[in-house]
Amino acid sequence: MTEEKKTPKQDKSATGQEKEKEINVPEKFKGLVEQIEKLSVVDLAELVKVLEDKFGVSAMPIASVAPSADGAASDEGVSEEKSSFDIELKGAGDQKISVIKVVKEITGQGLKEAKDLVDSAPKVIKHGLKKEEAEEFKKNLEQVGAIVELK
């Protein structure tokens, strides 16, 4: 077994009081840790930058289990089924006029607003739909040549 050195570490709590926390340093790193302890903050920051560049890594902390932006990961790591969908129009295809008519019907907007939506693709044209309703609208748009994605 290797001998370990315990090094005190300053730890600030939420109250602002400092307390020392013991850190176990393996014997093989003892000399390196002692050298690092002697570095100034500026030198230490430079060392971190050099190590990041040399090994292509980042000193940023990594969250163990972070939920994704769309909430797909739960605390247990089990995916939850999505209950709300957005329809994103990626492109109008060859039959732009037909796509404009379907977009007008789906959104309940006027002809000019529907045309503006189609012209500004990729664009979300409808938010917060149930799965069945979103799939129906997607099918209608694809039938007239639109390129559509459910999000």
Taking the domains of the chain in order of start, what are their residue ranges? 4-55, 85-150
- Look at domain 85-150 and name its CATH class: alpha beta
Contact predicate 21/8, CB 8 Å = yes
* CA dist., res. 105 & res. 111, Å (int): 9
pTM, two decimals, is: 0.45
Mean pLDDT of 94-107: 87
Supply the pLDDT for residue 20.
Answer: 62
Supply the pLDDT for residue 69.
Answer: 53
Cis peptide bond prior to 122, omega within 30° of 0: yes
Supply the pLDDT for residue 29.
Answer: 87
Q: Is the pLDDT assigned to residue 101 strictly greater than 60?
A: yes
